[in-house]
Amino acid sequence: MRHRLPTAVAAFVAASLLLAGCGGGDDEDTPSGSSSAPAEPTASETTEPPEPTYWPLTGLERTGKAPEHPVIVTKVDNTSSSAPQVGLGAADLVVEELVEGGYTRLAAFYYSQVPASIGPVRSMRASDIGIVPQGATVVTSGAAPVTINRINGAGIPWITEGDAGVYRENTRSAPYNLFARLGEISKRLDAEEEPPPYLPWGTEADLPQGAKARTLTADFGAHSTSWQFQDGGYVNTDSYAAAGDQFPADSVLVLRVKVGDAGYTDPAGYPVPETKFEGKGAALLFHDGRVVRSTWSKDGLHGDIELSTKAGELTVPAGRVWVELVPAVNGDVTFAK
């Protein structure tokens, strides 16, 4: 509803305006032809918009505050006995690493979101020292004593069976029945600071043209992981994940790595390998049905991962990435149009 001035007030205002129009101006106070000074800009007009912030594990722009918990890395079994894997669909990033016997294990990274449950949870390896970012917490079924000593020496905190939120699923057989409630676990973890970017993030526009490659296979020996480019992303065609819970990879990054001997054997007598995730090696970045050949480098186990081509720095288009740490010797990568 509109409001009207009382009649007497309206008459007074009208008379005042008439006198102001007839009285003329004071030439000494306001020179002829000049205008009054512009109004000072308000705070809202002068304040610059805030700088955008980005998720460290995907490079995607973030709205709102960062989580109060650190990055949580969960070690997940990656054999047929693990089927169905639970919780991979919520991961920000996944790293696949070699373990004994030519099989692989997954390090699933969670930060922007955490699933209700994740598993089957399996043990750590010394390889994880170069994979787990500083400040992160690992959820694991444990490790060999020599590995635990090295993990502790690297200052990596970890959570295992017996801690709140880690439980046995009675519908499965051991050792493939250990699971973790990450939502519950994350509430009691505090982050000292926001983690740095895990990969050198960029945009699709920054990516070189590369060559056509709609399928690829990373061969670790006894296990191979195959991918097919479909509907703008990469589908793991031999995944053990539950239906609808596969990791939705926007890119697959293959890094050829050196592998040494961790110095002990597993209960079955297989030598335990140790991925040396430092130094440099060949790299293949698969995105949008194409592949770009490059080189990766990492200054020490805790250094930043850098990528480059002959033309200069290479960045990974922001999104969810599956990293394949394929042995430079006794491993293989094939791809096709």
The pLDDT of residue 37 is: 54
Determine the Cα–Cα distance for residues 73 and 158; give it in Å rounded to an integer: 9
Pairing of strands 290-298, 211-212: antiparallel
Task: Please tell me the least confidently modeled range out of 9-18, 194-203, 247-256, 261-270.
Answer: 9-18
Both tokens assigned to 321: 């990435």
Q: Among positive and negative, which fits the CA dihedral 133, 136, 141, 143?
A: positive
The pLDDT of residue 196 is: 96
Residue 335 has pLDDT above 70, yes or no: yes
* pLDDT-above-90 percentage for the chain: 83
| pLDDT average, residue stretch 155-165 | 97
HEC assignment per residue over 248-295:
CECEEEEEEEEEEEEEEECCCCCEEEEEECCEEEEEEEEECCEEEEEE
Residue type, 184: E
Q: Among positive and negative, which fits the CA dihedral 320, 254, 240, 272?
A: negative
| pLDDT average, residue stretch 187-197 | 94
Whole-structure pTM value: 0.85
Residue 221 has pLDDT above 90, yes or no: yes
61-336 fold = YerB-like fold (3.50.90)
Both tokens assigned to 22: 């007839």
| pLDDT average, residue stretch 107-128 | 97
DSSP string, 76-100: EE-SGGGPSBBSGGG-SEEEEEE-G
Banded model confidence at residue 157, pLDDT cuts 50, 70, 90: very high
pLDDT tens-place string over residues 35-92: 455 566 565 556 777 889 999 999 999 999 999 999 999 999 999 999 999 999 999 9
CB 285 within 8 A of CB 251: yes
Determine the Cα–Cα distance for residues 295 and 235; give it in Å rounded to an integer: 24
The pLDDT of residue 50 is: 81
Determine the Cα–Cα distance for residues 139 and 160; give it in Å rounded to an integer: 6
Pairing of strands 93-98, 61-62: unpaired
- Measured CA to CA in angstroms, residue 261 lies from 37, 265, 271 at distances of 78, 9, 7
In the Cβ-directed half-sphere of 196, how many Cα atoms lie within 13 Å? 9
Q: ω into residue 120 within 30 of 0, thus cis?
A: yes
Residue 226 has pLDDT above 90, yes or no: yes
Between 4 and 216, the more confident residue is: 216
The pLDDT of residue 9 is: 36
| pLDDT average, residue stretch 91-118 | 97
Residue 268 has pLDDT above 70, yes or no: yes
Both tokens assigned to 238: 């031999």
The pLDDT of residue 49 is: 77
| pLDDT average, residue stretch 170-179 | 97
CB 186 within 8 A of CB 302: no
The pLDDT of residue 267 is: 86
- Measured CA to CA in angstroms, residue 65 lies from 52, 53, 62, 68, 69 at distances of 11, 9, 8, 9, 12
Residue 30 has pLDDT above 50, yes or no: no
Determine the Cα–Cα distance for residues 335 and 237; give it in Å rounded to an integer: 14
| pLDDT average, residue stretch 283-312 | 97
The pLDDT of residue 47 is: 75
Determine the Cα–Cα distance for residues 283 and 255; give it in Å rounded to an integer: 5
CB 117 within 8 A of CB 181: yes
Tell me how long the chain is: 337
| pLDDT average, residue stretch 109-138 | 97
Place of tokens 């209700």: 116
End-to-end alpha carbon distance in the chain: 69
Buried b (16+ CB within 10 A) or exposed e, 196-231: ebbbbbbeeeebeebeebbbbbbbbeebebebebee
Banded model confidence at residue 6, pLDDT cuts 50, 70, 90: very low
pLDDT tens-place string over residues 234-243: 999 999 999 9
Domain spans of the chain? 61-336
